[in-house]
Amino acid sequence: MGNANGTEDEGMNKFGGYDDPLFAELYDFTPPYNARPDIDFYLNLAGSIEGKILELGCGTGRILIPSAVAGCRIVGLDNSEFMVARCREKLQSQPKEVQGRVQLVNGSMTDFELGKMFALVTAPFRAFQHLISIEEQLSCLRCVNRHLRVGGRLVFDVFQVDPSRIDNPAYTKETEEFAEVILSDGRSFRRSHRTIAFHRAEQYNDIELIFYVTHPDGRTERLVQAFPFRYFFRYEVEHLLARAGFEVIQLFGNFDKSELTNDSNDMIFVAKKCESTL
C-alpha cells in the first residue's frame, strides 16, 4: 500500500480496528475524543433513568466511569480486550463503591447474553457504525431488545452523512488532525486520517487512522489503525429499529438536544422498546 505521497510505506505496523494495546493506551490522550460534547448528554440521560444501564462499545470508560461516579449501576461491553483492560485499570483509581457499580464484559455487541434486564442501553460515539451488514445491525438490535424491559430506552448516535464526502477522492489524502501530544513517559504522538476505499453501493468506507509515535530515544513508529465504517441515513435507521421492535420517540441533531436539520453533524436516536416482543 502506498502512503499519502504515493510512495511505499516503510516501517508501518498496520492493525485492524481495536485489536492492539497501543491504541487503547493512546485513546484517552487523543484530543478529538476528549473534546467530544457527548459526555454530559449521556450522563444526564443516565441520571434520569431508574434501573441498570448497559453501554455497548464502552471502550476505556470515557462515559462509563463518569456514569458510575454519578451513582449509576452500569455494565460495559466492548469487543476489544485491550480497551476493556484499560477501562478496568482506570477503575482501580476510583473508590470501592464506584467500582462496585460497574461490570465489564469483553464481547460482541451483535451476540451477547448477560442474564440481566436493563432500563437503558446506550451505544455512544458511533459504535453502531462498526456494524457493516444488515444482519449484524439487526442482531445487535435484537440482543438489545431481549435485554431491555418493556418501555426501556435505547439511545445511540451516528453521524449524519455529508453527501460531498461519500466518495470524494480528496479524502484519500492523509490529513493531520491535531498537533503533537506529549505523554508523561516522554513519548509523543500525532495523528492523521484518510479514506482508502469507497463502497458506495454497500454504504461504507475503509478508513485509516495513522499514528506517528516518537520515543524518548528518537525512534519513530508509524502505526495504522484500519477499519471499515458504515454510514446511515435517517429513515434507514428508523426502519431498522422498527424491524427490531423499537419505536423512535426522539431524534436530535446535536448533544444539546437541538432538532435534526440539514446542517446537523450527528443523528441521536432515542428509541423505546415496544410492548410486543420479538
pLDDT of residue 185: 97
Helix, strand or coil, per DSSP, at residue 117: coil
Query: What pLDDT does 18 receive?
Result: 78
CA–CA dist 24, 32 (Å, integer): 15
The per-residue pLDDT for 108 is 98
Burial (CB < 10 A; 0-12, 13-18, 19+), residue 262, is exposed
**CATH 3.40.50.150 intervals, the chain:** 38-161+232-273
- Residue 20: the pLDDT is 84
Whether pTM exceeds 0.75? yes
CA angle 109, 231, 39 (to 5 degrees): 60
How many CB atoms sit inside 10 A of residue 63's CB? 25
Cβ-contact 248, 238 below 8 angstroms: yes
The cell numbers describing 8, all together, are 511505499
- 194: amino acid identity, one letter: R
List the chain pLDDT tens, one digit each, 278 residues: 334 333 334 455 666 667 789 999 999 999 999 999 999 999 999 999 999 999 999 999 999 999 999 999 999 999 999 999 999 999 999 999 999 999 999 999 999 999 999 999 999 999 999 999 999 999 999 999 999 999 999 999 999 999 999 999 999 999 999 999 999 999 999 999 999 999 999 999 999 999 999 999 999 999 999 999 999 999 999 999 999 999 999 999 999 999 999 999 999 999 999 986 55
Beta pairing, strands 204-214 & 74-78: unpaired
What's the pLDDT at 7?
A: 36
CATH number of 38-161+232-273: 3.40.50.150
